[in-house]
């Protein structure tokens, strides 16, 4: 997906391919999404996004290649 994201995505839930919540869009900087990781997120999903490891909570840049769709309520991922 070659999209420039906007402030309209701020606050949207970020969902993995199974519909599990990964977190929330915390910020949009220079057309890129930054996601605050939520509690209880699947560790496998974090690893696929490159956010795994001992310090995986916090805010991370979401690469556009992982996004399949944005709706009024959510950003959906391919992982």
CA distance 7 to 3: 13
pTM of the complete model beyond 0.85: yes
**3 falls in which pLDDT band (50, 70, 90)?**
low
Look at residue 13 in the predicted model and tell me its pLDDT: 98
Tell whether 20 is covered by a domain: yes
Q: Tell me: the pLDDT tens digits for 22-77?
A: 999 999 999 999 999 998 888 899 999 999 876 557 899 999 999 999 999 999 99
User: CB atoms < 10 A from the CB of 72, how many?
Assistant: 6
50: phi then psi, degrees, rounded to nearest 5 = 80, 20
Look at residue 54 in the predicted model and tell me its pLDDT: 64
What range defines the domain where residue 21 resides? 7-68
Tell whether 53 is covered by a domain: yes
CA 3, 58, 72, 65 torsion: positive or negative?
A: positive
Tell whether 55 is covered by a domain: yes
* Number of domains comprising the chain: 1
Look at residue 16 in the predicted model and tell me its pLDDT: 97
Residue with tokens 């990781």: 37
């Amino acid at each position: 997906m070659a999209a420039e994201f906007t402030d309209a995505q701020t606050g949207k839930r970020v969902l993995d391919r199974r519909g599990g919540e990964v977190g929330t869009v915390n910020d949009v900087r220079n057309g890129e999404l930054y996601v605050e990781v939520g509690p209880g997120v699947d560790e496998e999903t974090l690893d696929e996004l490159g956010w795994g490891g001992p310090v995986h909570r916090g805010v991370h840049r979401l690469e556009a290649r992982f996004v399949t769709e944005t709706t009024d309520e959510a950003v959906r991922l391919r992982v």
